[in-house]
Amino acid sequence: MAWDALPLVDAADDRPLIERRAVLRDGFYELQARTVIERVPQAAGIAQQWAVSPYRGCAHACRGCGARAAHRRLGLDMGRDFDTRVVVRPNVAERLRAELARWDGSELAVGLSGDCYQPAEDTYRLMPHVIAALTAAGTPFTVYTKGPLVLRDARLLARAGARVAISIAFVDERIRRAVEPGAPSAQARLELVSALVEAGVDCRVLMAPVLPLLSDAADQLGATVRRIAAAGVRRVEPMVLRLPPGTREWYVEWLRQAHPHLVERYEELYDRAGLPPEAYEGRITGQIAQLCQVYGMECGAPQAVRGEPKAAQLALV
């Protein structure tokens, strides 16, 4: 079932919707899915228009995660619940095979609703089956992750010709601990990038999210790009933080506690849809592009393999 196709109201039972529909096992909510290919909201800022996600919610707990809002549709909150109550689709690969049988081959993003190599994947091992389904169908795909567990599937991903985008927006551990408290350190992710490149995987760094007024100083961008270049990757794709509804509240709550003097600046900077000004984003991505040139790396907006999906819009990620 599409995440947002679940009815919201059941007057006879006031437990959160997910507790009525899912099986709770070892701390994870298992929910059988009827539909797994979902529309990517434009605000995500990535190139792919469609995505498949084995997990909803994410133990990496990034403050600026754009997937938070959809947790509310399950009767959970977009803050702590998103970080700690992860929903699993045990039948994701089976459903994906069925949907790919009538798919037109447009590229899919994998892992947007929750990192597909977060700790839950160690328990469920869904990704090898997802990769196999996509490979068998000849569907191009990009895996978005911060999780070193992706290395387990490096051979499968290389054979499939998949792209893997590892997010590394800054190398300052104080910032990482504050805004990505459950994610591996930048150093661990840089080592992961090197290992993936070594294994022949088409790996790039998604330099996202660059945090306005916190990680966007010239020396911070310079240090980050230098370390990314040293990891051996050939392509960097920069993106400034987006704050769509749901993400915005959780991020600003943290900002109010950690950097109260910045709250007003953020309110001025972001529009109602949660987008930063084009001029600001252009300046930051321009700076990163110049740095990449110095180190001989490509830099640009995420690119997709183009194609018009035949399926009707299914759900928001």
**Residue list 154-183, contact with ligand SF4 (CB under 6 A):** 183
Q: Which stretch binds ligand SF4 (CB under 6 A): 60-68, 197-205, 225-233, 284-292?
A: 60-68
Q: What are phi and psi of 69, to 5 degrees?
A: -60, -35
Question: Least distance from C-beta 50 to ligand SF4, angstroms?
Answer: 17
Strand, helix or coil for residue 276: coil
Q: What whole-number distance in Å separates Cα of residue 156 and Cα of residue 162?
A: 9
Q: Which of 115, 121, 153, 237 binds ligand SF4 (CB under 6 A)?
A: 115
Determine if 186 is a binding residue for ligand SF4 (CB under 6 A): no
Residue 146 touching ligand SF4 (CB under 6 A) = yes
Beta carbon nearer to ligand SF4, 211 or 291: 211
Report how far residue 72's alpha carbon sits from residue 66's, in angstroms, rounded to the nearest whole number. 13
Which residue's CB is nearer to ligand SF4, number 65 or number 143?
65
Q: Which of 311, 240, 231 is nearest to 280 (CA)?
A: 240
Among 22, 62, 78, 297, binds ligand SF4 (CB under 6 A): 62
Helix H or strand E segment including 180: none
CB 54, min distance to ligand SF4, A? 12
The verdict on 78 binding ligand SF4 (CB under 6 A) reads no
Q: Which is nearer to ligand SF4, 58 or 292 (CB)?
A: 58
Q: Is 81 in the site for ligand SF4 (CB under 6 A)?
A: no
* Beta carbon nearer to ligand SF4, 99 or 180: 180
Which of 65, 206, 214, 229: binder of ligand SF4 (CB under 6 A)?
Answer: 65
Choosing from 41, 48, 52, 60, the residue that interacts with ligand SF4 (CB under 6 A) is 60
Nearest distance in Å: CB 55, ligand SF4 = 8
Q: Does residue number 276 form part of the binding site for ligand SF4 (CB under 6 A)?
A: no
Residue 100's SS3 state is: helix
Q: Within the chain, how many helices (H) and strands (E) appear?
A: 12, 12
Q: Is the peptide bond before 238 cis (omega within 30 degrees of 0)?
A: no
Identify the CA nearest to 177 among candidates 242, 258, 250. Answer: 258
Q: Which helix (H) or strand (E) holds 211?
A: none
Please give the C-alpha separations between residue 67 and each of 71, 77, 78, 135, 308, in angstroms, as whole numbers.
8, 12, 9, 26, 24
Structure tokens belonging to residue 200: 């022949």
Between 222 and 249, whose beta carbon lies closer to ligand SF4? 249
- For residues 104 and 310, give the distance between their C-alpha atoms in angstroms, rounded to a whole number: 6
The span of 53-61, 188-196, 235-243, 248-256 binding ligand SF4 (CB under 6 A) equals 53-61
**Dihedral sign, Cα of residue 125, residue 121, residue 41, residue 163:** negative
Q: Which is nearer to ligand SF4, 59 or 291 (CB)?
A: 59
Give the binding site for ligand SF4 (CB under 6 A). 58, 60-62, 65, 67, 114-115, 146, 183
